[in-house]
Every structure is written in structure tokens, then in C-alpha cells.
Structure 1
Amino acid sequence: MRVLIAADENAWGGLIPAIRQTLPDVEFVASAGHAAESLAGFDALIPGMCRVDARLLATADRLRLIQQAGVGLEGIDLRAAKQHGIMVANVPSDDSGNADSVAELGIWMMIGLARRQNEIADCLAQQKLGQPIGMGLKGKTVGLVGLGGIGKALAKRLAPFGMRMIGVKREADDAFAREHQLDWLGTMAQLPELLQQSDFVVLSLPDNAQTHRIIDARALAQMKPAGFLINLGRGGLIDKQAFLAALESRQLAGAGLDVFWQEPPDPNDALFRYNVIATPHIGGVTDISLAGNIKGICDNLRRLRDGEAVIDRQA
């Protein structure tokens, strides 16, 4: 069995060598860059950040499975895959430990922004003790936009900080709000209300037709003055020009970004001039989540190899 991995050999923190070690009888081919030119001759594809459109799928001559290394399926033309009879599966974040790892990164960003991390190096260099004066999280309001695996993992970890937690999801559910200790839960139509109340807004959504640029100039204007925005979902959730304008005018006090409009981002991008904590899409790159992803990927590839039913886990 031959599997194409649309990533460089050293991508994803050593995931590719680990997959090879787990399934030594399967041939894995890593492509150059996060892309693929042809699917001919492959039984399965691990796409990563590669866009799998109808044109690429038309090159497949024996592809049976697209197995994502993680959750995100927004880059895959699911309708075209179905037309070609190709199964599509992912590794749900709740199962892999990915949600836990991403949530931890989000909280690290919140603390860094609250403690004015962008000023700390200068204070040390200038021998200023007791500066800068930070902001405590206790009593502050965090708005969780999206309450899937990552959103729920955030709520679980933020509750002990004594923060007021509110959220929006596709459907409001009182029992869900109580279970996850949310003070208030609304639908996506109530996003403006969440933005107006939140000191921190955390995005953990996929980028699709309903959510693309959900944070635009109007949404940013609805946020609290000096509020913080953290994006753990996808770059396309935010209108970039409106975002930069809000940072420039200081309507937005700062941001945490693990995802970008272009990946990898240009080191000279204007966004790095502002109070932004940026990480190179590493939310799910920990020992725990890598082990969970390897298991999820290899379990399905083993089933495909052995003629067993593949678990179609599109969560």
C-alpha cells in the first residue's frame, strides 16, 4: 500500500517518521512542501494543509482514503471526494489529545497578553523591577467562540482561574452551558453580545462559508476597548485588514495567533509590528497530541491495508 503525505519530511514534529515506524510494511511518500501535484499510484492521502480540490482528486487512479492528520477538513472538497468514491476521515480532537494541547496554548497566550509580555524584555534590559503591571484573569470575562473539542477543553481549564465564561455555538443548550460552567451560552447570531462582554475572545472554529471572516471591522468595533483576541482556529476567521486597523488604532489591545492567512506567515508581515503573540501553528504539536494523531492515523490505515471497515470520523 502506498500513502502520500502532503508535507515535508521533517514536518509536524516528527510525525512522519513515527508513522513509518508504526506501519513499516506501508510505503509512505512525503511531498515537497505542503502540496501535492498528483494522486496517481497512491491508495491513501494524508493532506495536512494541502488543498484537495476537484482538480487534484481527478488525478487519483486508485485512491481509497483521505486521512487527515488532525481535525481540519475545510481544505478538502468533500463532495468531489464522495463522487470519486473516496472515503474521508479525520482524528477527532477529543480522542487524540489535540484539543487539550491547543487549549493549553490558548491559555498561555491569554496569560502572556494579560501580563504584557511584549514589554517584559525591555523592563529586564532597563533593570526595572516590578514592571510592567499586569492584569489578573480572575473575574475577567472570556468569550469562547466555538465549543467543540477545543472550546470545551478551554472551559474545563479556565474554570479554576475564576473567570466568567460565556460562549456561542450553533445551537444554544442550557444543559451544555451548565455542564461546562458557562455563565451564558448563545447561538452564533448572538456573537455581538459575546464580543461586547468579553475581555478575551477566543476563536476555535473551522473556516467555512458560515464562519469565514466572522471577525470583521464591525465585529472588532463591538469588542470591549482594550480587549484581546486569540485565534486557535483558522486564519480566515478574521478579516486581516480590519484586524490590523484595530491594532493600529488600539481598539484591540493585542492578539494571540497560532494560525494565519498565509501559512507559514511572512516574517516581515505587518502584524508582527503590534502586540501579537504569534506561534507557528503549534497548538496541536505536543508529545500527547502527536501520539494521539499517530494512533488515529495508523489505526485507519491499518484497516484500509487489511480490508477492514475504515472509521469515518468527521468530527
Structure 2
Amino acid sequence: MRVLIAADENAWGGLIESIRQTMPDVEFVASAGHAAESLAGFDALIPGMCKVDARLLATADRLKLIQQAGTGLESVDIAAAKQQGIMVANVPSHTSGNADSVAELGIWMMIGLARRHQEIAQCLAQQRLGQPVGLGLMGKTVGLVGLGGIGKALAKRLAPFGMRMIGVKREADAAFAEKYGLDWVGDMAQLPQLLEQADFVILSLPDNAQTHHIIDEKALSQMKPDSFLINLGRGGLIDKEAFIAALENNTLAGAGLDVFWQEPPDPNDAVFNYNVIATPHIGGVTDISLAGNVAGVCENLRRLRDGEAVDNRWA
């Protein structure tokens, strides 16, 4: 069995080599860059961030499975794959440890922004003790936009901080709020209410027709001027032009970004000129989540090889 991995050989913190070691009888081919030119001669594809559209799928001559090493399938044309009889599957974040790792990164960003991370090195260099004066998280309000695996993991971890938690998801859910300790969980129509109340807004949504640019100029104007925005979902959730303007005009205090409009981002991007904690899409790149993703990917490849039903199918 031959499997194409649409990523550089050393991408994803050693995940490719771990997959090879787990399944030494399978041939894995890594492409150059996060892309693929042809699927001919391959039985399965691990797409990563590669755009898998009808044009690319037309090059497949024996492809049976598109298996994501994680949850994100926004770049895969699932309908086109289904039409060609190609299965599409992922590794759910709550089973791989991915959601837990992403949530931890989000909380690290919250603390860094609250404690004025940009000023700390300068204070040390100038031997100024007891500065800067930061914000405590206790009593602050955090708005969780998206309450899937990552949202749930955040709620579990934020509860001991003594923060007030509110959230929105596709449908209002009082039972969810009670179970996870949120004051309220509304539908997406209540996003303005969340933005008006929150000191920290954390995004953990996929980027699709319903969520693209969900944080636009209007949404940013509804946020408190001393609030922070953290994006753990996808870059397209935020209107970049409006976001930069809010930082420039000090109507947004700062942000944490693990995802970008272009990936990898340009090192000279204007976004890095502001109070932004930026990480190179590493929310799910930990020993725990990598091991979980390797296990999930290899289990489905084994099932494909052995003629068994594939788990976590979307098509």
C-alpha cells in the first residue's frame, strides 16, 4: 500500500517518521511543501493543509481514502471525493489529545496577554522589579466561540481559574452550560452579546461559509476596547483588515494567534507589529496529541489495508 503525505518530510514535529515506524510494511511518500500535484499510484492521502479539490482528485487512479492527521477537513472537497467513491476520515480532537493541547496553548496565550508579555523582557533588562502590573484572570469573563472538543477542553481547564464563562454554538444549550460551568450558552445570533461582555474571546471554529469572517469590523466594534481576541480555529474566521485596524486604533487590546490567513505567515506581516502573541500553528503539536494522531491515522490505514471498516468517516 502506498500513502502520500502532503507535507515536508520534517513537518508536524516528527509525525511522519512516527507513522513510518508504526507501519513499516506501508510505503509513505512525503511531498515537497504542503501540497500535492498528483494522486496517481497512491491508495491513501494524508492531506494536512493541502487543498484537495476536484482537479486534484481527478488525478487519482486507485485512491481509496483521504485520512486527515487531525480534525480539519476544510480544505477537502468531501462531496467530490464521495462522488468518486473515495472515503474521507479524520481523527477527532477529543480522542487524540489534540483538543487538550490546543486548550493549553490558548490558556498560555491568555496569561501572556494578561501579564503584558511584551513588556517583561524590557523590565528585566532595565532591572525594574514588580513591573509590569498585569491582569488577574479571576473574575474576568471569557467568551468561548465554538464549543466542540477544544471549547469543552477550555471550559474544563478555565473553571478552576474562577473566571465567568459564556459561550455560543450552533444552538443554545442550557444543559451544556450546566455541565461545563458556563453562565449561558447561546446560539450564534447571540455572538454580539458575548462580545460585549467578554474580556477574552477565544475562537475554536472551523472556517466555512457560516463562520468565515465571523469576526469582522462590526464584531470587533462590539468588543470591549481593553479585551483580547485569541484564535485557535482557522485564520479565515477573522477579517484581517478590520483586525489590523482595531489593533492600530487601540480598540482591541491584543490578540493571540495560532492560525493565520496565509500559512506559513510572512515574517514581515504587519500583524507582528502589534500586541500579538503568535505561534506557528502548534496548538496540537505536543507529544500527547502527536501520539494520538499517529494512533488514529495508523489504525484507519490498517483497517484500509486489511479490508475493515474505516472509523470517523465523513464520506
Query: In 2, Cα distance between the equivalents of 1:173 and 1:145?
Result: 13
1:169 maps to which residue? Answer: 169
- Cα distance change on mapping 1:314 and 1:200 into 2, 3 Å: farther
Aligned partners of 2:184, 2:63: CA distance in 1, in Å? 46
1:36-75, CA deviations, whole angstroms, 9 ceiling, x for partnerless residues?
0000000000000001001000000000000000000010
| 8 Å Cα contact 2:247-2:254 kept in structure 1 | yes
- Which residue is 1:81 aligned to? 81
Q: Does the Cα contact within 8 Å between 2:87 and 2:314 map onto a contact in 1? A: no
Q: In the alignment, is residue 239 of structure 1 matched against residue 239 of structure 2?
A: yes
Take 1:273 and 1:314, find their aligned partners in 2: how far apart are those partners?
A: 40
Could you tell me how far apart the structure 1 residues matched to 2:162 and 2:107 are?
Answer: 13
TM-score normalised per structure 2:
0.99
| 1:251 maps to 2:247 | no
Alignment partners' CA distance in 2, 1:222 and 1:110:
20
Residue 229 (structure 2) aligns with: 229
Q: Is the 8 A contact 1:195 1:201 kept in 2?
A: yes
SS in 1 for 2:253: strand
Match of 2:5 in 1: 5
Letter in 2 for 1:20: R
8 Å contact kept, 1:50–1:75: yes
CA contact (8 A) 1:167 1:184 kept: yes
The number of residue pairs the alignment matches comes to 315
SS in 1 for 2:228: strand
In structure 2, runs of 5+ residues without a counterpart are none
Equivalent AA in structure 1 for residue 112 of structure 2? G
Rounded to whole Å, the distance in 1 between the matches of 2:21 and 2:121 is 42
Which amino acid counterpart does residue 222 of structure 1 have in structure 2? Q
Which residue does 1:49 correspond to in 2? 49
The correspondence of residues 4-83 of structure 1 with structure 2, limited to 5 A, is 4-83=4-83
Alignment of 1:142-161 (within 5 A): 142-161=142-161
Tell me if the contact between 2:211 and 2:237 (Cα under 8 Å) persists in the aligned partners.
yes
Partner of 2:112: 112
Give 1:311 shift. Answer: 1.2
Q: Match for 1:153: what amino acid?
A: A
In structure 2, how many angstroms separate the alpha carbons of the residues matched to 1:82 and 1:238? Answer: 30
Q: Work out whether 1:138 is the aligned partner of 2:116.
A: no
Q: In the TM superposition, what are the counterparts of 1:226-305 in structure 2 within 5 Å?
A: 226-305=226-305
Distance 2:297 2:21 in 1: 13
Q: Identify the residue that residue 98 of structure 2 maps to in structure 1.
A: 98
Deviation per residue, 1:253-293 (Å, 9 max, x gap): 00000000000000000000000000000000000000000
1:127 and 1:83 mapped to 2: Cα distance? 65
After superposition, the C-alpha distances for 1:187-242 in whole angstroms (9 at most, x for unaligned) are: 01110000000000000000000000000000000001111000000000000000
Q: CA RMSD in A?
A: 0.9
Which structure 1 residue ranges, 5 or more long, are not aligned? none
How many angstroms does 1:173 deviate by?
1.2
- Cα drift, residue 96 of structure 1: 0.1
Change in Cα spacing, 1:28 to 1:265, as seen in structure 2 (3 Å) is same
Deviation at 1:159, TM superposition (A): 0.2
8 A Cα contact 2:87 2:313, kept in partner: no
The answer to whether the 8 A contact 1:115-1:135 is kept is yes
Displacement, 1:184? 1.1
Is the CA contact 2:41–2:62 (under 8 Å) kept in the aligned structure 1? yes
Instruction: Give the letter aligned to residue 215 of structure 2.
Output: I
TM-score, scaled relative to structure 1: 0.99
- Do 1:166 and 1:194's aligned partners in 2 also have CA atoms closer than 8 Å? yes
- Kindly state the Cα deviation for residue 312 of structure 1 after the two structures are TM-superposed: 3.1
- The one-character-per-residue Cα deviations of 1:139-178 (angstroms, maximum 9, x if unpaired) are 0000000000000000000000000000000011111110
Q: 1:215, 1:237 within 8 Å by CA — same for their partners in 2?
A: yes
Distance 1:23 1:259 in 2: 31
Superposed CA deviations along residues 67-102 of structure 1, whole A, max 9, x for unmatched, are 000000010001100000000000000000000000
Amino acid at match of 1:14: G
CA contact 2:97–2:288 (8 Å) conserved in 1: yes
Percentage identity across aligned positions? 84
Deviation at 1:130, TM superposition (A): 0.6
Distance across 1 between alignment mates of 2:218 and 2:206:
20
Q: 2:119 is matched by which residue type in structure 1?
A: E
SS at match of 2:34: coil
Superposed displacement of residue 314, structure 1: 4.4
